[in-house]
Chains A and B, each alone.
Chain A
Amino acid sequence: MNTPLPRRAAIGLLLLALPGAAVAQEDAVAAAIREQVGDTPATEGGITLRAPPVAENGGQVPVTVLVESPQTAEAHVTAIHVFATRNPTPGVASFRLTPLMARAEVQTRIRLAEDQRIIAVATMSDGTVRRTAAELRVTTGGCLS
């Protein structure tokens, strides 16, 4: 049986724990991105993430990622990776694209546990990396219920 902590000490612990957890979550997201694209710095632009600003059901949130690319043998998107920054685990999906696709666009449905930022990262056939993000709100979380 634990002795209850004095209230002030409990609040102090909470204040200490919160930033720590947020930092750990950011680390997990950064590690998940690094695992997919390595340390290549990403540029903004040429990549669009479309999603409703507010999703009713966090279990089924429609998301579209579109990358500007002719999708030819010479110049194409090779992969699109999607990450959720405040889910229990950040990985959503990785898509491998080829010049057999008419355009570098994928529509999917994702789970969101709570309001959060979604990150989409694309790797191009020339080795460059593009990145974009969108803030999404959910009415009902969709991961643990």
Chain B
Amino acid sequence: MTLATPRIRVPRSARVGEAVEIRALMEHPMETGLRQDGGRTAPRDMLQRLTVSVNGALAFQAEFRNGTSANPYHVFFLKLDRTSELVFTWTDEQGRSARAQARVTVG
């Protein structure tokens, strides 16, 4: 089992210091291990975290617990002072990970 391909929405360009809206969606069942499915308990299968780095520095991290919905979707705002490389990494509780990358030209 591999993780799905994440979907991110990042503008291609931005002005220095402006709020840049970032959207990140990851298809994942986020099974808590508490749900009954046809008389059986669906086994736990959860993403553990999402990390977002800007030019190699950690900018934002989400740590998921049972109350996060299936297909985690997050919106947040970055400020960039130069053209930046954004790297998104989702990691599940088995240690598997999926990655997405984007470049924002700032000027």
Say yes or no: A108 contacts B34, CB within 8 Å.
no
Band of interface residues on B:
20 to 34
Stretch touching chain A among B74-82, B90-98, B99-107: B74-82
B3 within 8 A of A: no
A106 within 8 A of B: yes
A89 within 8 A of B: yes
State in angstroms the CA–CA spacing of A93 and B67 once bound together: 7
Residues of B within 8 A of A96 (CB): 58, 60-63
> Would you give the 0/1 interface string for B38-67, flagging 1 where the beta carbon is closer than 8 Å to chain A?
000000000000000010011111111111
Chain B residues with CB under 8 Å of chain A are 18-20, 32, 34-36, 54, 57-70, 72-79
Q: Which 6 A-B pairs have the closest CB atoms?
A: A91-B65, A92-B67, A102-B19, A107-B75, A100-B59, A96-B61
Question: Can you name the residue of chain B whose Cβ is closest to the Cβ of A103?
Answer: B77
Say yes or no: B65 contacts A143, CB within 8 Å.
no
Residues of A within 8 A of B79 (CB): 71, 100-102
**DSSP class of A's interface residues: helix, strand, loop or mixed?**
strand
Question: Can you name the residue of chain A whose Cβ is closest to the Cβ of B79?
Answer: A102
> Would you give the 0/1 interface string for A93-135, flagging 1 where the beta carbon is closer than 8 Å to chain B?
1111110111101111111100000000000000000000000
> Knowing A92-B65, A103-B19, A109-B69 touch, does A144 contact B36 (C-beta < 8 A)?
yes
* Minimal beta-carbon separation of B13 from chain A (angstroms): 16
Sampled A-B contacts (6; CB under 8 Å): A95-B61, A96-B62, A100-B54, A106-B62, A111-B66, A143-B34
- One of B18, B34, B68, B78 near A100 (C-beta < 8 A): B78
Give how many A residues have a beta carbon under 8 Å from the other chain's beta carbons.
Answer: 35
Residues of A within 8 A of B72 (CB): 108-109
Say yes or no: A144 contacts B34, CB within 8 Å.
yes
- One of A71, A93, A101, A106 near B65 (C-beta < 8 A): A93
Sample of 10 further A-B pairs with CB below 8 A, known A89-B34, A101-B59, A102-B18: A89-B32, A89-B65, A92-B68, A93-B64, A96-B58, A98-B57, A108-B62, A111-B66, A144-B34, A145-B35
Say yes or no: B63 contacts A143, CB within 8 Å.
no
State in angstroms the CA–CA spacing of A115 and B5 once bound together: 33
Select the residue from A102, A142, A143, A144 with max chain B CB neighbours within 10 A: A102
